[in-house]
Amino acid sequence: MKIQTLFLSLSVMATLATSSCSDSSTGKDFIGKSTTTFENDLLSPEALWSLGRIGSYQMAPDNKMAIYNVTYYSVEQNKSHTILYKQDFDKNDNKLLTKTNDNERGPVFFNNGKKVLFLSNKSGSNQLWTMNADGSGRKQVSDLNDDISEFLLSPDEKQLILIMEVEDTTNIQKNDEDLSLSSGMVINNYMYKHWDQFVKTIPHPFLAEFDGKSVTVKKDILEGEPYECPMLPFGGAEQLAWSPDSKTIAYTCRKKTGVDYATSTDSDIFLYNLEEGSTRNICKPEGFVEPETEATRSKQDQSINKQTEDCNMGYDQNPQYSPDGKYIAWQSMERDGYESDRTRLCVYEIATGKKTYVTESFESGVDTYLWGDDSQTLYFTGVWHGTIMVYKTNQEGDVQKLTDGTYDYSLVSLADEGQSLIVKRHSMSQADEVYKVALNDNNKVTQLTDENGSIYSQLTMGNVEERWIPTVDGKEMLTWVIYPPHFDSTKTYPTLLYCEGGPQSPVSQFWSYRWNFQIMAAHGYIVVAPNRRGLPGFGMEWLEEISGDYTGLCMQDQLSAIDALCKEPYVDKDRLGCVGASFGGFSVYWLAGHHNKRFKCFISHDGIFNTHQQYAETEEMWFPNWDLGAAPWTAEGKALKAYTDSPHLSVDKWDTPILCIHGMKDYRILHSQGQAAFDAALLRGIDAQLLLFPDENHWVLKPQNGVLWQRTFFRWLDKWLKK
């Protein structure tokens, strides 16, 4: 249920030209870099959508240039366009390589940096193309019947892993051939729906030969197996890796289907030997036997099969070989059924099978990581006290912090013969840009891209303040406070309590294109964003106090945060709003019945309204098994607080206007939850509004839907908090 997403509203532009132009060099209605100008310096939804979003970034082997992709959006056309840029460091300039309306992405250098391999939809489907490093000599090199969603080039540059969809009838059986126009689905097992789709196809990795001029598919590595790789719904090419000698592929897979799949997070790392065509699991010892019942899998008894470091029972994913080929690292969770367990960095010695966990002294999870050139050092990012920084560790587990500041970092690659890290960095006040961290120069950070500088130069962002607020049980809680631009402490402001989703996603320095704190501040609101109980970056005890107790200390923490800010003279305690999505939406629904008249309005997006209903409606059952505790119809479940304190049971105490928002393709939390909350409010005689998106999932991804979301969001807040 983890969620951190998109953006919000104001109509302040004199012109909004996201390069939706008819320039002959780019073609009709080309969506490219924005040339937006503004009437004032306040962030608006349209300005937010005009920002370029940097994707992959590839440094050339000689470190003299890079090729990267940027995605731009057109609200008018209601679509996006992903294009390629070449960055020349000697000339200190960028060159646009895309000249058409085709989407092009994922560039990779080969042939000593002279050539680039990339994906393009120019032929009507996603196929592989090559070009010279200067953008000339473009040529299509694959012409397959199916789209290629992602690819990995082997180190010897002679082979490829192609990610493509294959038909899957495990859960939804194929209709009779003479009923080809029927929309009916005969469903036989669990996981027939996942995230935002009915599961009729799944991704598989295909092995292909590549000679620089053409691509020849050889085989499906998981041929005949009803398992997905990469794992749905969020896995990508990072879940697979080539060995340095190009003879072995490491891949992530959860080899389960139906109820087994739905109740377990137990994925493993497999090694596929190209010469032998054999596969082995390096997360489980030979002779391992799966637990007999699903009940044991929700909270594993660690004595099963003598579970030790040789037997990984939780999520294991994202393998990477060391440069010398002697080790494989991956991200590993210890406990099955617990999606928010601490993500550790595991190092596996191939010759001996020894596993070492090298981030044990870091009491938080590993988000991204890279091997150092020496095959002994690993660099990683992780959240601590509301920021995501870069760290390094050795194989003895000695962790050192490398970066500072009020930012969030993610790792991209190594450069300068291992002497620099290429990273992305963002904050609550700036979207992703690419930077270099010089490891041989006191970790000096240098900005490499300036994708949105021309937009930021026209805007004034609100000040972001770090506060530590006392909790009801005598602890201290980090809370971010975001102030309106041109803040005047002699005035009073309406103030919003932001309830985080997840339920165990950090309130770090994230930049969102929907839940954007700066656009809320630009609308004249102070935003209070607490790192309440259940969020990572404050130790395991703090993280796990939410499991099985959704309405306990985590709710008191949120109320403590808003109550503390209400003591400030510039906060108008008679104009408070409460907003949130996913678990934050659940928080809103629960607080609506327990806020003691603190708030004047609520907004819940994709929130759980009825936990009894949620248990039977959602798809990944390991989540409610762990977080709620048991099924509501069991003897144990009937007594659990998760069900006896469900938000829908306190509707009789609702007394405040509420806006309910939901995507109808959200199969994690079905739209019936939002509709039920809206209906209940109306039946209680409470002012309410419902915003439904038939074509959106747990997020809102289409530009015009996004703008409608933000306009509705602020119209509702302004109606009740700016009277």
Tokens 């020496």, located at residue: 374
Gap between the Cα atoms of 82 and 52, Å rounded: 9
Contact assessment for residue 700 and residue 5, using Cβ atoms and an 8 Å cutoff: yes
Residues with Cβ within 8 Å of residue 562, at least 6 apart in sequence: 495, 497, 528, 576, 578, 598
From the candidates 426, 595, 605, 698, which is the catalytic residue? Answer: 698
For residue 182, CA distances in Å to 176, 179, 519, 653 come to 9, 5, 46, 46
Start-to-end C-alpha separation, the chain: 35
Contact assessment for residue 696 and residue 664, using Cβ atoms and an 8 Å cutoff: yes
Gap between the Cα atoms of 343 and 341, Å rounded: 6
From the candidates 264, 662, 666, 671, which is the catalytic residue? Answer: 666
Across 560-574, b (16+ Cβ under 10 Å) vs e yields: bbbebbeeeebbbee
For residue 536, CA distances in Å to 358, 363, 526 come to 19, 9, 24
Q: Give the strand order in the sheet containing 139-140.
A: 104-110, 115-120, 127-132, 139-140
Gap between the Cα atoms of 408 and 420, Å rounded: 18
- Looking at this protein, which amino acid is placed at residue 52? G
Please indicate whether residue 413 is annotated as part of the active site: no
Q: Counting Cβ atoms within 10 Å, is residue 79 exposed (0-12), middle (13-18) or buried (19+)?
A: middle
The residues pairing with 164 across neighbouring beta strands, listed in sequence order, are 204
| Sign of the C-alpha dihedral computed for residues 509, 510, 516 and 519 taken in this order | positive
Query: How does DSSP classify residue 245?
Result: T
Gap between the Cα atoms of 131 and 95, Å rounded: 14
Gap between the Cα atoms of 393 and 345, Å rounded: 10
Cα 279 off chain centre by = 30
Please indicate whether residue 450 is annotated as part of the active site: no
From the candidates 332, 582, 587, 604, which is the catalytic residue? Answer: 582
Tokens of 654: 């609702």
Gap between the Cα atoms of 56 and 559, Å rounded: 40
Gap between the Cα atoms of 214 and 242, Å rounded: 20
Q: Where are the alpha helices (DSSP H) in 269-420?
A: 294-298
Residues with Cβ within 8 Å of residue 346, at least 6 apart in sequence: 312, 316, 329, 330, 331, 332, 355, 356, 357, 358
Gap between the Cα atoms of 327 and 320, Å rounded: 8
Gap between the Cα atoms of 278 and 295, Å rounded: 33
Please indicate whether residue 398 is annotated as part of the active site: no
Gap between the Cα atoms of 648 and 650, Å rounded: 6
Say whether 575 sits in a helix, a strand or coil. strand
Across 37-74, b (16+ Cβ under 10 Å) vs e yields: ebeeebbbbbbbbbbbbbbbbbbbeebebbbbbbbbbb
Q: Which residues are catalytic?
A: 582, 666, 698
